[in-house]
Structure 1
Amino acid sequence: MTGIEEVIRGRRSIGKVKDDPVPKELVEKLLDAAIWAPNHHHTEPWKFIVMTGEGRRTLGQVYVECAADAIAALPESEQEERRRKEMAKAFRSPVVIAAACVPSDSPKAVLAEELAAVHAAVQNLLLTAHAEGLGGVWRTGVPAYDPAMKKALQLEDHAQVVGLIFIGYPDMQAPTAKRTPASAKTVWIEQ
């Protein structure tokens, strides 16, 4: 197996990471790898918002805002604890990178292809993180798609958040994975 195959097959979603800071230069290396994703018509439709330290509070406030109705439905004695838990979600890793698609206004650009390019960029980022000894997990969920998220991240109206990537040094054993062989999912058309 080649080095790249080992990285691809060894990467796992690592949801539990240490609080240890990740050097800015290493985060920049992940982003530099991300931007080499294929993108039709060279539109480069990605945008990354990196949150570290207290900057993650921006994300936490969106989690609290998105849970506002559920929080309001709780007994008053439980509401503050629930707000605290929602805020804490943003602090699950020392680095959180919001990946967004900012589609090109080129008439040649197709939204599905623009989104696919950003998804490929996130995969590049995650593979590089793994190769550098970091753990990462790509999260979405209702808050990622809420208009409050777009506003908090200062994204253009036509932009879309495609994921929140939580990055840090692993604090868990990587889970084993199983895949259906490619041959079971492949059709060859030869004539």
Structure 2
Amino acid sequence: MSKTTNTGNAVRHAIQSRRTVKKFKKEAVPTEQIIDLLDTAVWAPNHKLREPWRFVLFSGKGRKKLAEAIEAEMGEDNKFSANVLQVPSIMLVVMEEDPRQAIWDEDFAAASALVQNFMLAAWSEEIGTFWVTKPFLYAPKFRKELGIKAGEKIIGMLYIGYPDVIPSSKERTPAKDKLTLFE
């Protein structure tokens, strides 16, 4: 396979140009478009096609439910519940937890790949994302409020919207500087 195919260049461009967006325009991405992006994201590699994920999407007035769940855990005086009301859409990515460590590791890797797929697909459609992990995602009150069951792990919250500000890129360490090679 040629390294210079248009598809390859587009994929490389999406990977290298994608940015974490923290400031969004008020206009929400249509739910149908988010679902379409998820239909692309689910093509993540996952062992034996276990598809160990599900999604909880908050947009419009539904964001208040997420803010209330955060407040149930952290109290009303916290910056996170106010912040989620400013983001056009927020999605929780939830993984089924298998008690077998090897399966758990494979499923976590697959769910993480799904998140990256989603973020890249969104970026290719000029939609910004921010993968958020906070301690309250583990909190019993927060989880109960949103129907997160025992045996499920929230991989993270994804903020989703049209970018108002796109941050500049930051330098990465060249892979060769972290490579151990046996020839």
* 1:18 aligned residue (21, 25, 35): 25
Q: Is the Cα–Cα contact under 8 Å of residues 34 and 124 in structure 1 kept in the other structure?
A: yes
* 2:93 aligned residue (85, 95, 99): 99
What's the offset of the Cα at 1:29?
Answer: 1.7
CA RMSD of aligned residues (A): 1.9
CA-to-aligned-CA distance 1:71-128 (integer Å, 9 cap, x gap): 6xxxxxxxxxx26x443222231111100111358x7961111111111110001111
Which residue does the alignment assign to 1:134? 127
Report which of the two has the higher share of strand.
2
Q: Is the Cα–Cα contact under 8 Å of residues 38 and 118 in structure 2 kept in the other structure?
A: yes
SS in 2 for 1:54: helix
Q: What is the one-letter code of the residue matched to 1:67?
A: M
Which residue does the alignment assign to 1:122? 115
* 2:71 aligned residue (53, 64, 79): 64
Which has the larger displacement, 53-62 or 4-13?
53-62
Q: Does 1:153 align with 2:160?
A: no
C-alpha separation in 1, matches of 2:101 and 2:166: 45
C-alpha separation in 2, matches of 1:153 and 1:64: 12
Q: Does 1:38 align with 2:65?
A: no
TM-score for the superposition, normalised by structure 1: 0.85
Which residue does the alignment assign to 1:166? 159
SS in 2 for 1:110: helix
Q: What is the one-letter code of the residue matched to 1:99?
A: V
C-alpha separation in 1, matches of 2:142 and 2:66: 8
Identity %: 33
C-alpha separation in 2, matches of 1:125 and 1:50: 14
C-alpha separation in 1, matches of 2:120 and 2:166: 17
CA-to-aligned-CA distance 1:143-179 (integer Å, 9 cap, x gap): 1121223222212210000100000000103222210
C-alpha separation in 1, matches of 2:133 and 2:166: 23
Which residue does the alignment assign to 1:8? 15
Q: Does 1:178 align with 2:171?
A: yes
C-alpha separation in 2, matches of 1:152 and 1:40: 31
Query: Structure 1 5/11 Cα, relative in aligned 2: closer, same or farther at 3 Å?
Result: same
C-alpha separation in 1, matches of 2:127 and 2:11: 16
TM-score for the superposition, normalised by structure 2: 0.88
C-alpha separation in 1, matches of 2:141 and 2:38: 24
Structure showing greater Rg? 1
Which residue does the alignment assign to 1:89? 83
Q: What is the one-letter code of the residue matched to 1:152?
A: E
